[in-house]
Structure 1
Amino acid sequence: MNKPRVLVKSCNEVPKVALNLLKSKYNVTAIESHCHARKEILEVIPEHDALFLPLPHTKVDKEFLNTAGPNLKVIATLSVGYDHLDLAEIKKRGIKVGYSPCASSVAVAEIAIALILSAARRAHEGRLKLESGDVRRTFQWMVGYDLRGSTVGIVGFGNIGKAIFKRLQGFEVGQFLYTGHSRKEDGDDLGAKFVSLDELLEKSDFIVVATPLNSETFEMFCYESFAKMKKNAVFVNVGRGKVVKTNDLVKALKNNTIFAAGLDVTDPEPLPIDHELLKLTNAVILPHLGSATVKTREDMAMIAAQNIINGLEGKPLPYPL
């Protein structure tokens, strides 16, 4: 009996431990593909039983699935976000699909903390002043804002939101607020207060976004949202770039409607090198490094590999969508 065939996109991006596990069980077609080289994948996907996607650059839509044909039984993405997958179309065809929701929570939370501190304490602006020789020793030069005694609002109190909350415990934060679809029992247990989005925006000194991208969250942060925030507010996004209207954020930062922003995700992504956001001294921007640690990427890959194994063996996926 022939072994099932698994297509692994961008195999050099996949940690060896996960790739070797798949190779020990299946016939693996490992291809190198540029991030957006969809044509390359469509040429080889037919007759494969499973698809392993390291990063969410490949849109799996009706055209993709039509090309893949009836053999495709399982799709596994290493990402937490899944807006690149047409779930309705995938499920209509009876294809199992899994993602990696928990493995990256700690690493993304750590990036959120780094951005909070860097934006509040003007790290990027300070570096620019150092490079230009504009260092002063006056008492009020380059003062920023404390986490101590502040109000932190978390938008999206899922695995990442809770991990951020836990890592902020040692900073003597005055109050934690969170918002989302509904009040969460474990949020109450942790000591965070559930509020409306408007109340969170109005009361928070730090607004941290850890929400996925969907029809409800798309461009939910516009200039009207920023105008509701405090003048000293620090806005941090580790969710998805498209939850923010980028031009409106640029305007809010330029006008000092808010104090600063820290972004690991942007729209567009990556930002063009001449983009307005990159010219702002009060914006700390990373090129989507949230889950980019050795351990986290290995954990994500192993979860995706196990999703494929369970799917092909007719068992429940560890992390289904």
Structure 2
Amino acid sequence: MKKPVVLYKKLSPPLMARLHEHTQVTLIDDLGDNGLAQLRAALPEARGLLGASLKLDAALLDLAPQLEAIASVSVGVDNYDIDYLTRRRILLSNTPDVLTETTADTGFALILASARRVVELANMVRNGQWTRNIGPLHFGTDVHGKKLGIIGMGRIGEALAQRGHFGFGMPVLYHSHSPKPDVEQRFNARYLGLHELLREADFVCLTLPLTPQTEGLIGAGELALMRPESVLINISRGKVVNEQALIQALQNRQIRGAGLDVFEREPLAPDSPLLSLSNVVATPHIGSATYETREAMARCAVDNLLAALAGERPPNLVNPQAYRH
């Protein structure tokens, strides 16, 4: 008998067909009030869940006594109480690797757009305000040869370092929980303490997961260490940065600018002060948002879910302690 699974994310027809072949699928198209009511109604029978961008807390999952596996279509797992899932032996899987290169592309796009003021000046042209040759008032800053500081040297950090080192001749500085000799050898990178990196880097790029230890990692004190010529890039999680402190640093021109793909609350409120600042490039969490990568992530999640429901260890298991050997 096919096991019931609940999808709260639309998948491509081939992936839907694959799930229908092996499971009994309930699809929830929209997670508005009606969709959440549908989810609660489906949870008591669910053996598997697949989706993204929904906080699944204990209060919700207590409604799913038969749940065996959750396949998150994401790398980040901050929407899940991993201790709770492990106690209940619910297997949680994610989709690393497949989005590494695409997210690093996004990070470098933000570096270039922020440095060269691409959005600001493109809007000037669009609004009919380009009436004479560009002068110093609208100059940007070079990227090639500048110091690239990466906080969080995981897969995405390494992919960003590769682009900076080989593509733009940027000296690579990095900070992570421990030095990585292979990274230092490949990219001629230097391991620095957090404060030292903030003082020295021209571009400070955040590529680390959101955890209790990293939440609010970059606050007023850290921003004060950055130089007026430096730029902050965040492609990790919004809550890694104290947003109000960042707004003040940008308003005061304490730093040159920021390229932000993630925010404390998403979607970003239309009245956010960030949107009124010309030295901010803000994108709507597009890190992995290409057709190819999103399909690869969904395919990875389906692989994870079907393996877990078959009693196998999912390829990308987040909480191995929950796996019944």
Same fold (TM over 0.5): yes
What are the superposed Cα offsets for residues 208-247 of structure 1, whole Å, 9 maximum, x if unpaired?
Answer: 1111111011011111111101111011000001111111
Distance 1:7 1:281, change over 3 A: same
**What letter matches 2:41 in structure 1?**
E
How far did residue 140 of structure 1 move?
Answer: 2.1
Aligned twin of 1:270: 267
Quick one: distance in 1 between partners of 2:293 and 2:203? 26
* Contact 1:155-1:208 at 8 Å conserved across structures: yes
Residues 310-319 or 278-287, more deviating = 310-319
CA deviations over 1:185-229 (Å, ceiling 9, x no partner): 321232221111111100000011111111011011111111101
Aligned residues: 315
- Aligned position for 1:179: 175
How far, CA to CA, are the matches of 1:109 and 1:33 in structure 2?
Answer: 29
Gap regions ≥5 residues in structure 1? none
* CA distance 1:169–1:188, shift in 2 (3 Å): closer
How far apart in 1 are the matches of 2:15 and 2:147? 41
| Paired amino acid for 1:146 | D
The alpha-carbon deviation at position 35 of structure 1 amounts to 5.5
1:9 corresponds to 2:5: no
Task: Check the 8 A contact 1:147/1:173 in 2, yes or no.
Answer: no
Equivalent position of 1:229 in the other structure: 226
Distance 1:168 1:102, change over 3 A: same
Output the CA distance in 1 between the equivalents of 2:272 and 2:131: 27
* Alignment-derived partner of residue 312 in structure 1: 309
Aligned with 1:116 (options 106, 111, 123): 111
Structure 2 unaligned residues grouped into runs of 5+: 319-325
Q: Could you tell me how far apart the structure 1 residues matched to 2:2 and 2:144 are?
A: 58
Q: Structure 2 length normalisation: TM-score?
A: 0.93
Q: Does 1:239 align with 2:236?
A: yes
For the Cα contact (< 8 Å) 1:17–1:298, is it kept in 2? no
- Tell me if structure 1 keeps the 8 A contact 2:165–2:171: no
Deviations 1:129-154 (A, max 9, x none): 33251544254241111122211000
For the pair 1:90 / 2:88, whether they are aligned, the reply is no
Equivalences for 1:18-57 in 2 at 5 Å?
Answer: 18-34=15-31, 37-53=35-51, 55-56=52-53
Q: How has the CA–CA distance of structure 1 residues 174 and 160 changed in structure 2, closer, same or farther, with 3 Å as cutoff?
A: closer
| Secondary structure of the structure 1 residue equivalent to 2:38 | helix
- Matched letter for residue 175 of structure 2: T
Of the structure 1 ranges 276-285 and 223-232, higher mean CA displacement relative to structure 2 is found in 223-232
Equivalent of 2:215, from 209, 214, 218? Answer: 218
User: Pick from 172, 184, 193: which aligns with 1:188?
Assistant: 184
1:80 matched to 2:71: no
In the alignment, the residues of structure 2 paired with residue 243 and residue 177 of structure 1 have an alpha-carbon distance, to the nearest angstrom, of 19
1:203 aligns with 2:209: no
For 1:173 and 1:217, locate their aligned partners in 2 and report how far apart those are by CA, in whole Å.
29
Letter of the aligned partner of 1:125 in structure 2? Answer: E
Q: Percent identity?
A: 33
Q: Retained in 2: the 8 A contact 1:263–1:285?
A: yes
Between the aligned partners of 1:33 and 1:312, the Cα distance in structure 2 is 25
Please name the residue that 1:99 is paired with: 94
**Amino acid aligned to 2:204:** I
Cα deviation code 1:68-104 (max 9, x no counterpart): 11x1101100011111111000110011110011111
Q: Which runs of 4+ in 1 moved over 6 A?
A: none
Q: Equivalent residue for 2:151?
A: 155
Note the alpha carbon deviations across 1:135-177, whole angstroms, 9 max, x for none.
4425424111112221100011111111111122344334101
Structure 1 residues 35 and 193: CA distance shift in structure 2, 3 A:
farther
Q: Any conservation in 2 of the 1:213–1:239 contact (CA below 8 Å)?
A: yes
Which amino acid in structure 2 is aligned with residue 145 of structure 1?
T
2:288 to 274, 279, 291: 291
How far, CA to CA, are the matches of 1:138 and 1:7 in structure 2?
55
SS in 2 for 1:45: helix
The TM-score normalised by the length of structure 1 is 0.94
Please list the CA deviations of residues 87-122 of structure 1 after superposition, one character each: whole Å capped at 9, or x if unmatched.
000110011110011111111111111100000011
Q: Distance in 2 between matches of 1:217 and 1:181?
A: 11
Q: Distance in 2 between matches of 1:35 and 1:316?
A: 33
Is the Cα–Cα contact under 8 Å of residues 148 and 164 in structure 2 kept in the other structure?
A: no
CA contact (8 A) 1:129 1:135 kept: no
**1:136 to 1:226, Cα distance in 2 relative to 1, 3 A:** farther
- Structure 1 position 274, deviation (Å): 1.4
Q: Report SS of the residue matched to 2:62.
A: helix
Alpha carbons 1:151, 1:173 under 8 Å: kept: no
Cα distance in 1 for partners of 2:19, 2:134 equals 60
